[in-house]
Chains A and B, each alone.
Chain A
Amino acid sequence: MKNARKLIAVALAGLCFWPLSGCGGNGAADSNGQATKLNYPSIKLGTTGKDIHTKIKLFNHKTDMSVDTYPGKNWKQYVADFNKLYPGISIEIETDTNYAGDALTRLQGKDWGDMMMIPAVDRSDLSTYFLPFGTKEEMSKVIRWSNASEYGGKVYGVPSNGNGLGIVYNKRIFKEAGINENPKTPQEFIQALKAIKEKTKAIPLYTNYAAGWTMAAWDGYIGVNATGDGRYMNQKLLHTKNPFSDPGDDTHAYNVYKILYDAVSDGLTEDDYSTTDWESSKARINRGEIATMVLGAWAVSQCKNAADHPDDIGYMPFPISVKNKQYTVSAGDYAYGINSHVSKTRQEASMIFIKWMTERSGFAKNEGGIPTAQSDKSMPDAYKEFADVHFVEDQPSVKGEEDLFNTLNSDSELAVNSGGNARIQAIVEHASKHDKPYNDLVKDWNSKWNDALKTEGIEAQYDTASK
């Protein structure tokens, strides 16, 4: 009797372990999560893995591309093109409308597929879920924005494409106002806005004040665009005293926000900022009722599709020149990641597909983004006017200072580049009411920032005021 009970217990325990061992036995990842020895830079499309026969799945956010009516190239066409080169690898595409949230949930279960666009995962967790494509050095030679999903010297994501930061504008209105060359300095830009106000009926600059987040977009320009320095935003700014002061050469944060202040105080913006409407503004710039909006490149395609004049919408570099050169920050979009828990063959097939997508498919160009491959120097139509502009990536923060920017933002309540809607909205309010000169606003921000530096015991190595 006792023995029988023991037997049953052992059998039960065995049963419990059975599915676990089944998991490991699928020829999948070893302990460090990497099954394949293949790395991204060494893949030669058309030769590497030509004999692979497998089926893989890509989970992504481009729901619009999964329907046949998509105006550009849809997923089905990309897969068909890929299969001309690799007939053995069949690809299933799964898209999701609530991608950012669902992807994180799906990630917890390990059977979400073979490739996905990496959602907001902490860098330190990247290796838990994803396969490294290669080391940082070798990857930075072949792809742009390799920093974005790098951890511990390895790169876990390959951005699908990337973008720069400029100003959305209506080309027809600029032509009607007699502006034939894009403004390159704040003064030229204000002059252009004045010309638009005089010669056309369009609103020279639409602030999109009411939506809030559209105002916070201004913070994106104070880094590379205003300084030409990839280290400014995440490294130097954190050690800068008086970062909002005027350096005297039409650069830096001072002159970015001054464009907004001057435009509002000179009456070059909409009549009533408090009731601006974001959704209709896209159609209005398309129809030529608005001349410019200061927004990221993602807004270009939305403005183009909002009404009947897509060809009138252009994207111009931000009107600040550092030593006669214009710069723009550039950043990668969603990056492809490969599931580190699937079999070696599927991992290799995935890596080949991703390399094909970034180098051969023309995806970036079709979607109006900057191509991922370093070798691809072509710029999409949207960035036609960025030919002479230098694209610089934001460098990540220095080791040990990863949280410092957030802390300083919290202490100073300025929320620079992290939802500082209220601060930028206040610029518009004061400029419109003429009740506080711009330099007083600057003084307020500087003293808040300097206090935060003092609270955190940060030694300032730079001072914008004395530049």
Chain B
Amino acid sequence: MTATTVESSLPPDVPDNKRPFDWRKGIIIVAFCFIPLTLLVVFTYVPFGQMVGFSFYRMKYIGVPHWVGLQNYRQIVTRPDILPSLKLSLYYMAGSVLHISLALYLATILSFRVRCGNLFKGLFFFPYLINGIAVGFIFKFFYTRGFIFDSVLQWCGFSLNSLPYWLKDQSINNWSLVGASVWRYMGQTMILFIGAIMSIDQSLYEAAEIDGANKFQQFLHIILPSIKTILVLNVVLSVTGALSVFEIPFVITTGANGTGSYFVLMDRIAHTNQKVGLASAMAVVLLIVILIFALLQQILFKFLFRNQDDGVKAAKRRDRRAKRQRNRIAAGKAPLLANGRRQKAYSMERGQ
């Protein structure tokens, strides 16, 4: 069916494409790309390439670097403190499950008509606006023995002696930090979800209600599929965020007492100890780890959403292919700028 539409939409006497490449168009494209590409290359790829280069040297910020080959990478694997610090990310990944589901839940509720909805949105988003250093102070006092958190729990009937030391006890202090992290970033994720939910066509809900779907069914079959992209994005962001968690442990515990994440350790090695080569190698390794995780997620989501496709996708793909074919044929005839002159010439040629 599609094939016939392609045939019929073509002008009957399309000539062979005699100009495979339009130089003027090419120059304009290159000219427009030049500035952003230069910025990207100069400030992202060149420094990154240099960092990869540094990772093969033993060097400080000043002084002569010594080539050591793969020794920095060997150290990352063999040192007892570097790779194990990535385990701390598991805490934050567990935290991100909580934080995304909580954000999704609140976003769904708030995007239906709720009394004082905007107030709640503001309250939930507020922590994200607080300066990171202030967050450090807030949570240090929050978790101090006998202070805010302990008092609240005491009102609920816990006795102070049965409560742990939230930041001192190494078996739970990472959970305390995860709590702070969820508090800080949940609102931001929620706002992203609300934005996505807002863009869903209201008539779908009406239709669903007429069909007798309850709110949960509406969530499952309308909201969830519609915000799939944003959901995946947020999961990707929080997993990479968990792998490279820095701010929360750095400002609350300065990474001491068993809360030094990979990034905090990297900062210490790069700045206090000035081992630039080793720190660069750590950054490269972290990038590889993140890429692996991103890939695993892609596969996972493909698997999870494999039943989502009701034929629309395949149809869209077919349509796109047809469009590409049309464009290829018309390439030489396309107007350079949309002023219609060439279009006119083209129609005149065809004697219309």
B-contacting residues, A427-465, CB 8 Å: 429, 432-433
The answer to whether B254 has its CB under 8 Å from any CB of chain A is yes
The answer to whether A273 has its CB under 8 Å from any CB of chain B is yes
**Structural contact, A422 and B168, CB atoms closer than 8 A:** no
What are 22 sample pairs from A and B whose C-beta atoms fall under 8 A apart? A211-B254, A272-B145, A272-B167, A273-B168, A274-B167, A274-B257, A275-B141, A275-B145, A275-B168, A277-B140, A407-B60, A410-B273, A419-B272, A422-B256, A422-B260, A422-B268, A425-B254, A425-B256, A425-B257, A429-B170, A429-B257, A429-B258
Which A-chain residue is minimally distant from B274 (CB atoms)? A410
**Assembly CA distance A210 to B273 (angstroms):** 20
Residues in B neighbouring A421, C-beta threshold 8 A: 254, 256, 272
Which A-chain residue is minimally distant from B143 (CB atoms)? A275
Which B-chain residue is minimally distant from A273 (CB atoms)? B168
Residues in B neighbouring A273, C-beta threshold 8 A: 168
**Assembly CA distance A432 to B168 (angstroms):** 10
Residues in B neighbouring A420, C-beta threshold 8 A: 272
The answer to whether B275 has its CB under 8 Å from any CB of chain A is yes
Which B-chain residue is minimally distant from A418 (CB atoms)? B272
Residues in A neighbouring B144, C-beta threshold 8 A: 272, 275, 277
The answer to whether A406 has its CB under 8 Å from any CB of chain B is yes
User: Which residues of B come within 8 Å of A, CB atoms?
Assistant: 60, 63, 140-141, 143-145, 147, 165, 167-168, 170, 173, 253-258, 260, 268-269, 272-275
**Structural contact, B60 and A410, CB atoms closer than 8 A:** yes
**Structural contact, B254 and A210, CB atoms closer than 8 A:** yes
Which A-chain residue is minimally distant from B259 (CB atoms)? A274
From B145, B173, B253, give the contact of A210 (CB < 8 A): B253
Residues in B neighbouring A133, C-beta threshold 8 A: none
The answer to whether A409 has its CB under 8 Å from any CB of chain B is yes
Which B-chain residue is minimally distant from A421 (CB atoms)? B254
From A407, A409, A429, give the contact of B256 (CB < 8 A): A429
The answer to whether A41 has its CB under 8 Å from any CB of chain B is no
**Assembly CA distance A137 to B255 (angstroms):** 47
The answer to whether A413 has its CB under 8 Å from any CB of chain B is yes
Which A-chain residue is minimally distant from B62 (CB atoms)? A403
**Structural contact, A274 and B253, CB atoms closer than 8 A:** yes
B-contacting residues, A181-212, CB 8 Å: 209-212
Q: A210-B140, A210-B254, A275-B144 are in contact. Are A413 and B273 (CB under 8 A)?
A: yes
Tell me the minimal C-beta distance from A452 to chain B in angstroms: 11
Is the interface on chain A under 10, 10 to 19, 20 to 34, or 35 or more residues?
Answer: 20 to 34
Q: A272-B144, A272-B145, A272-B165 are in contact. Are A415 and B173 (CB under 8 A)?
A: no
Tell me the minimal C-beta distance from A59 to chain B in angstroms: 29
**Assembly CA distance A406 to B271 (angstroms):** 12
Tell me the minimal C-beta distance from A21 to chain B in angstroms: 38
Residues in B neighbouring A212, C-beta threshold 8 A: 254, 256
Residues in B neighbouring A433, C-beta threshold 8 A: 170
Which B-chain residue is minimally distant from A212 (CB atoms)? B254
Residues in B neighbouring A409, C-beta threshold 8 A: 273
The answer to whether A271 has its CB under 8 Å from any CB of chain B is yes
Scoring A residues 396 to 407 as 1 if CB is less than 8 Å from chain B, else 0, what string do you get? 000000010011
Which A-chain residue is minimally distant from B136 (CB atoms)? A210
**Assembly CA distance A275 to B173 (angstroms):** 11
Q: A410-B60, A413-B273 are in contact. Are A275 and B140 (CB under 8 A)?
A: yes
Residues in A neighbouring B255, C-beta threshold 8 A: 422
Q: A421-B254, A421-B256 are in contact. Are A275 and B273 (CB under 8 A)?
A: no
Which A-chain residue is minimally distant from B258 (CB atoms)? A429
**Assembly CA distance A75 to B160 (angstroms):** 52
Tell me the minimal C-beta distance from A267 to chain B in angstroms: 13
Tell me the minimal C-beta distance from B2 to chain A in angstroms: 65
**Assembly CA distance A293 to B191 (angstroms):** 46
Interface contacts beyond A407-B60, A415-B272: sample of 13 additional A-B pairs, CB < 8 Å, sorted by A: A210-B140, A210-B254, A212-B254, A273-B168, A274-B167, A275-B141, A406-B60, A406-B274, A409-B273, A413-B275, A421-B272, A429-B256, A433-B170
**Assembly CA distance A421 to B267 (angstroms):** 13
Max chain A Cβ within 10 angstroms of own Cβ: one of B145, B165, B254, B260: B254
Residues in A neighbouring B258, C-beta threshold 8 A: 429
Q: A275-B143, A275-B144, A422-B255 are in contact. Are A415 and B167 (CB under 8 A)?
A: no
Which B-chain residue is minimally distant from A409 (CB atoms)? B273
Tell me the minimal C-beta distance from B271 to chain A in angstroms: 8
